[in-house]
Amino acid sequence: MEYEPVIGLEVHVQLKTRTKVFCGCSTEYGASPNTQVCPVCLGFPGVLPVLNCLALEYSIKVGLALNCTVQEFTKFDRKHYYYPDLPKNLQISQYDLPISKDGFLEVTVDGKSRKVKIRRAHLEEDAGKLIHEDNFSLVDFNRTGQPLLEIVTEPDIFSPEEAYEYLTNLKSIIQYLEVSDCDMEKGTLRCDANISVRPKGQTGLGTKSEIKNLNSFKAVRDSLVYEIERHIETINNGEKIVQETRLWDDKKGRTVSMRSKEEAKDYRYFPEPDLPPFIISKEKIEGIKKTIPELPKEKILRFMREYGLPEYDTKILVSTKENADYAEKRLKAFPDKDKKPVANWIIGPLASIAANLKCEIYQIKIPANNFIELINLVEKKQVISNLTGKAVLEKMAGMPEKSAAKIIEEENLAQVSDEASLEKEIDAVIKTNPKVAEDVKSGKTNSIMFLVGQVMKKTRGKANPKVVQEILKRRLV
């Protein structure tokens, strides 16, 4: 029998506010343990939490960007569980009236687009951090009370690839909104996955497992591939799937049962008596709507339209808001109608320089006019070859104030297009490669590129490859 997977994702993003969600403690990352705590986040008796207005605004913003209905009336509830990372023995969360609900996020897999339904996005407080030693556990409450937005999909994702795409798009949107860093390594974005399988064509849901300990989007995808196979194998062996939480072991590439006595979850939610409800006016929602910037999907379409770029290029250019702004400044600065050379230089040489420097493209501080000048010198004026151009760009990354022309002049890199001075090198190359020269003569014109390459090598990239090719053609063809 053929089975299909049904996946739902729960994503927690830490909102980038300066203070915690219900108190004024700092949210700065990396502080010494238990130095960003106060009676409110430590849950002392008699304290009163007060909601951070920015956390509310950010939550609404995300809800709107995810096409959700933002509820006019929202409230907080207490979720009870006992664990040492939770000093109050309850978490302030939202139960039946989340800030936003019923949204969707468009995903495109293999050229096909569909909308993944989002059930809800609610605001809650984060728990502390535990460090397990041999005989005891250490608790740091600095993270306790940091604002978390939990975004839950419907069981409406049907392949690991789609889950990966959903997460990539979600992260990109939230980063564009500038409300969270979405850094999985720092834990500002966390994801749990629910997965079940069912016979293809059936509408009911099979028994699910929940996967935790997912440290990257790749881990989410890999763990889902693994779980789908495990579920199908279990069913085919005539066994039953046990509803349980499983941990992903990234090194071994498999999930393992948590094996802890899985107690029935009984959170005994009730309305948080310390927080009066929130009424969000239409004006407020409209006001926040206006602050939503152009989101990745629209930006891709506009870049394709305005700059005549292929979808592939634009997708890379707009991967983050910073990169998109950086690219757009350079696309605009390029006077020609055909902007493709600019896109090529950004996603090619510039991206590889960024990768080597382990930074983002936008962090390479070459001014737009210098960057454009270099492209002109290579592509139009042909003062230097493509290869030399890349080398010059690398130098520019190290000293951004220096112009391309200056570097070329100082290092005597200008391309040699003068035929007379190239003839000598070409003669030598033909002499040392008689076989290839014969091949070209006898009609294998493709081999000419090998000879061009040899001349380039001999002149250390300074020969104008077009002129070299022409001379060679004249001689041999």
Partner 1 sequence: MALSPETLKYVADLSRIELTPQELEKLSQQLQTILGFIDQLSRVDIAGIEPTSHILQLSNVLREDNPKASLPIEKTLANAPQKKDNFFVVPKVIE
- Choices 276-284, 293-301, 339-347, 355-363 (CB under 8 A): range interacting with partner 1: 276-284
- Check binding of 135 to partner 1 (CB under 8 A): yes
Cα-flanking dihedrals φ and ψ of residue 145, to 5°?
A: 90, 0
- Write each residue from 75 to 114 as x if it is in contact with partner 1 (CB under 8 A), else as -, in one continuous string: x----x-xxx----x-------x-----------------
Residue 272, token pair as written in the block: 């948080």
Cα-flanking dihedrals φ and ψ of residue 420, to 5°?
A: -55, -45
Instruction: Give the shortest CB-68-to-partner 1 separation in angstroms.
Output: 20
> Judged by CB, which is closer to partner 1: 97, or 324?
97
Instruction: Give the shortest CB-256-to-partner 1 separation in angstroms.
Output: 12
3-state SS assignment for residue 34: coil
Binding residue for partner 1, selected from 3, 4, 10, 33, defined by CB under 8 A = 33
- Choices 49-57, 61-69, 305-313, 322-330 (CB under 8 A): range interacting with partner 1: 49-57
What is the C-alpha separation between 309 and 359, in angstroms, rounded?
A: 25
Are 189 and 12 spatial neighbours (Cβ–Cβ below 8 Å)? yes
- Check binding of 46 to partner 1 (CB under 8 A): no
- Check binding of 45 to partner 1 (CB under 8 A): no
Q: Please report, to the nearest 10 degrees, the dihedral formed by the alpha carbons of residues 84, 88, 90, 93 taken in order.
A: -110
> Judged by CB, which is closer to partner 1: 39, or 400?
39
Residue with tokens 């002499």: 431
> Judged by CB, which is closer to partner 1: 55, or 393?
55
Binding residue for partner 1, selected from 3, 10, 42, 292, defined by CB under 8 A = 42
What is the C-alpha separation between 272 and 122, in angstroms, rounded?
A: 15
Instruction: Give the shortest CB-414-to-partner 1 separation in angstroms.
Output: 55
- Check binding of 29 to partner 1 (CB under 8 A): no
- Check binding of 38 to partner 1 (CB under 8 A): yes
- Write each residue from 316 to 335 as x if it is in contact with partner 1 (CB under 8 A), else as -, in one continuous string: --------------------
> Judged by CB, which is closer to partner 1: 137, or 421?
137
Binding residue for partner 1, selected from 53, 185, 290, 335, defined by CB under 8 A = 53
3-state SS assignment for residue 125: strand
What is the C-alpha separation between 148 and 162, in angstroms, rounded?
A: 24
- Check binding of 137 to partner 1 (CB under 8 A): yes
Residue 471, token pair as written in the block: 């001379």
Cα-flanking dihedrals φ and ψ of residue 165, to 5°?
A: -65, -40
Residue 413, token pair as written in the block: 């890199």
Residue 254, token pair as written in the block: 């498999």
Closest to 320 measured CA to CA, from 183, 149, 158: 183
3-state SS assignment for residue 247: strand
Binding residue for partner 1, selected from 10, 34, 155, 187, defined by CB under 8 A = 34
- Measured at the CA of 428, the angle between CA 427 and CA 433, to 5 degrees, comes to 100
Which residues of the shown chain bind partner 1 in the complex (CB under 8 A)? 17-19, 23-26, 32-39, 42, 50-56, 75, 80, 82-84, 89, 97, 130-141, 258, 260, 266, 268, 271, 273, 275-279
